[in-house]
């Protein structure tokens, strides 16, 4: 009977192991599902909506094939349609039945600047969240969410590739394959044990069988004879058979061990796809964000990763421009006060060989990103950059603005923040913030009045209506400016020119637009620009103003003296933390940078 049960176990083991292997081979099915996108009328751009890539769950793989360079980028759909608004393109979406549909879209609105739209290269646009470029074949894996789209192009002149394929991975897990093979392995082991026990039982029941003795003859006297010498006992015929059976038994056991090892290998070497997963659908708790987006909140102008890339590209461009003293290259990434300071610096360094640059640039790591939450243009981003691991290097605050969908972000304000300074609490990058209008009444001082207020405080001191409204850091800066002015007056007196010349000073706001970004405490970080003008003029017709060892004045004016006087202008880029209206807090100076802007001879 043991043999019968062993055979049954072997048969069941073979069926179970075979079923498990078949699930991983014969019945596993394809690894992905695919969707081809067709384009009948080629255009330089193809826009694929996120609903196409999200037609099936899972990681999205976009394959684009065509001769030459292929460019693919993804970003917010609203941004991409704005970038394509002035040109024709093909738009791919889904029908109600879930099938891809391609529509030709004509140019909607002409560009305000009247620039040509044909041939616009999509490479390097600040709008893209990410981009890829390959030759002949491009395969991009992505996880696009609702509200995003993919742009496919070449260089904006040639037609975009039309061989497009989207694929999604299919679930190839076989949760019963592992249990089947494990159960088969267990039955195989049971069958082998039963087989061995059956053989052992059979051998024990094969002992010699003899007939009983017949009737005994009558007893007679027996003469005793000497006992014969004993001879060695030779093995009988059954002894050899017993050893052979034991040998065969050991061989069967030896053959069974590899089978058991193979079964164990199949059971232990299976991946998670071969086993049922329990509790995988149970959601894990996630931390609740401390900031909740208000209803109808617009999306942030940039994502955090996108902002880091833009700042990195700006830094790289400025490094090249600084090395080559190329103001035109710097102008591709700078604007306003930041660009004006760079132009003067390049002019001075071109004429004075040993002059060191006085400009500043973003640091290597972006620590804080505060984008404006908007879908329109212009749009602004505030960023705090630091040198990671070195707190002695002052962080740099900057604002950068994108004028329209076709422009790159340009930095307009750039200033150093004291390493010990405290940055206000601001909204996270994924939420964004509001750019506060210049005349907003919800701040202690409107952004439009801040520059004039600080200038009045520097010029008038304690007599100013703004006295006591600025913090100690701002007061120290004001004191430094006043002491610098006193130094100029003293220098004239030391040179014996106090009676023949006169120095005057004026700190005033410029035409540069202030930038105010709201903080979480209902205040704002406000960037402003003021100029500090120093005028030295003779007071008698016979006196002249000599530049002496002032190499900067000589380089910028091309003269060594002036009969009517000289005007030197310094620019100050300032960042303030302005509290909300009604707050008792002072206006805090966050960052400052001063540059020489010009030296002009009075004519």
pLDDT of residue 344: 97
CA distance 413 to 360: 11
The number of folded domains in the chain is 3
| 63 plus 139 within the same structural domain | yes
Q: What is the DSSP string of 399-413?
A: EEEE-STTSPPEEEE
| 88 plus 191 within the same structural domain | no
Query: Residue 246: inside a domain, yes or no?
Result: no
Query: Residue 244: inside a domain, yes or no?
Result: no
| 3-state SS assignment for residue 225 | coil
C-alpha angle 426-432-437 in degrees, rounded to nearest 5: 85
308-325 burial, b for 16+ CB within 10 Å, e for fewer? bbbbeebbebbeebbeeb
Strand partners, 223: none
Query: Residue 231: inside a domain, yes or no?
Result: no
Query: Residue 232: inside a domain, yes or no?
Result: no
| 335 plus 257 within the same structural domain | no
Which residues of the chain carry a pLDDT beneath 70? 2, 23, 27-32, 110-118, 171-175, 177, 205-295
| 81 plus 193 within the same structural domain | no
| 385 plus 493 within the same structural domain | yes
pLDDT of residue 594: 97
CA distance 457 to 121: 49
pLDDT of residue 265: 47
Pair type for strands 163-169 and 60-76: antiparallel
| Helix (H) or strand (E) run with residue 32 in it | strand 32-37
Query: Residue 235: inside a domain, yes or no?
Result: no
Instruction: Take residue 579 and report the two structure tokens written for it.
Output: 């509290």
| 328 plus 475 within the same structural domain | yes
Query: Residue 313: inside a domain, yes or no?
Result: yes
| Helix (H) or strand (E) run with residue 554 in it | helix 551-557
Contact, 70 vs 136, CB < 8 A? yes
Domain extent for 152? 32-169
* Residue-wise pLDDT tens digits, 17-66: 887 777 677 766 666 688 889 888 899 999 999 899 888 888 889 999 99
* Residue-wise pLDDT tens digits, 383-436: 999 998 888 899 999 999 999 999 999 999 999 998 778 999 999 999 999 999
Asked which of 112, 146, 169 is the last residue of a domain, the reply is 169
| 8 plus 89 within the same structural domain | no
| 328 plus 409 within the same structural domain | yes
CA distance 71 to 125: 12
Query: Residue 327: inside a domain, yes or no?
Result: yes
Peptide bond into 378 cis (omega under 30): yes
| 55 plus 19 within the same structural domain | no
Query: Residue 111: inside a domain, yes or no?
Result: yes
Three-state SS string over 61-75 comes to EEEEEEEEEEEEEEE
| 450 plus 563 within the same structural domain | yes
pLDDT of residue 178: 76
| 309 plus 430 within the same structural domain | yes
- Those residues whose C-beta lies under 8 Å from the C-beta of residue 108, and which sit 6 or more positions away, are 85, 86
| 155 plus 186 within the same structural domain | no
């Amino acid at each position: 009977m043991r043999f019968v049960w062993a055979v049954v176990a072997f048969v069941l083991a073979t069926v179970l192991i075979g079923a498990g292997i078949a699930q991983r081979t014969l019945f596993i099915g394809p690894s992905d599902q695919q969707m081809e996108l067709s384009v009948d009328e080629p255009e330089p751009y193809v826009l694929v909506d996120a609903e196409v890539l999200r037609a099936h769950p899972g990681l999205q793989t976009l394959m684009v094939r065509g001769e030459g360079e292929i460019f693919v980028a993804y970003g917010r759909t609203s941004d991409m349609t704005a970038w394509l608004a002035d040109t024709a393109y093909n738009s791919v979406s889904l029908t109600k039945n879930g099938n891809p549909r391609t529509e030709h879209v004509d140019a909607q609105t002409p560009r305000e600047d009247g620039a040509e739209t044909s041939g616009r290269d999509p490479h390097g646009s600040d709008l893209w969240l990410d981009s890829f470029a390959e030759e002949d074949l491009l395969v991009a894996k992505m996880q696009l969410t609702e509200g995003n789209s993919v742009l496919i192009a070449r260089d904006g002149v040639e037609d975009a590739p039309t061989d497009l394929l989207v694929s999604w991975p299919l679930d190839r897990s076989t949760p019963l394959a592992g249990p089947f093979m494990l159960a088969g392995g267990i039955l195989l082991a049971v069958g082998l044990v039963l087989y061995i026990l059956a053989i052992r039982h059979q051998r024990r029941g094969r002992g010699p069988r003899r007939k009983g003795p017949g009737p005994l003859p009558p007893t007679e006297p027996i003469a005793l004879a000497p006992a014969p010498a004993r001879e060695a006992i030779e093995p009988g015929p059954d002894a050899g058979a017993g050893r052979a059976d034991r040998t065969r038994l050991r061989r069967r056991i030896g053959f069974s061990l590899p089978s058991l090892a193979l079964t164990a290998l199949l059971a232990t070497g299976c991946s998670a796809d071969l086993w049922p997963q329990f509790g995988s659908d149970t959601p894990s708790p996630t931390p609740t964000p401390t900031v909740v987006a208000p209803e109808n909140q617009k999306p942030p102008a940039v994502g955090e990763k996108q902002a880091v890339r833009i700042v990195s590209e700006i830094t790289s461009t400025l490094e090249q421009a600084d090395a080559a003293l190329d103001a035109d290259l710097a102008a591709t990434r700078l604007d306003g006060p930041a660009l004006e300071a760079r132009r003067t610096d390049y002019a001075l360094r071109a004429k004075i060989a040993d002059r060191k640059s006085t400009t500043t640039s973003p640091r290597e790591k972006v620590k804080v990103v505060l984008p404006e939450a908007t879908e329109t243009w212009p749009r602004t981003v505030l960023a705090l950059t630091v040198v990671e691991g070195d707190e002695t290097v002052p962080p740099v605050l900057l604002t950068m603005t994108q004028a329209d969908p076709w422009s790159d972000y340009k930095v307009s304000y750039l200033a150093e923040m004291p390493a010990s300074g405290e940055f206000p609490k601001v909204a996270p990058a994924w939420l964004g913030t509001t750019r506060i209008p210049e005349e907003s009444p919800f701040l202690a001082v409107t952004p439009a009045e801040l520059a004039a207020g600080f200038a009045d405080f520097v010029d008038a001191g304690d007599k100013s209506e703004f006295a006591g409204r600025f913090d100690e850091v701002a007061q120290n800066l004001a004191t430094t400016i006043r002491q610098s002015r006193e130094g100029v007056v003293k220098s004239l007196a030391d040179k014996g020119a106090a009676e023949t010349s006169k120095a005057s000073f004026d700190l005033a706001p410029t035409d540069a637009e202030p930038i105010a970004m709201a903080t979480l405490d209902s205040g704002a970080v406000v960037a402003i620009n003021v100029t500090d003008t120093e005028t030295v003029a003779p007071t008698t017709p016979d006196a002249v103003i000599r530049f002496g060892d002032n190499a900067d004045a000589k380089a910028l004016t091309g003269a060594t003296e002036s009969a009517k006087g000289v005007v030197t202008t310094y620019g100050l880029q300032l960042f303030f933390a302005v509290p909300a209206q009604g707050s008792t807090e002072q206006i805090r100076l966050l960052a400052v940078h001063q540059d020489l802007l010009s030296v002009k001879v009075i004519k």
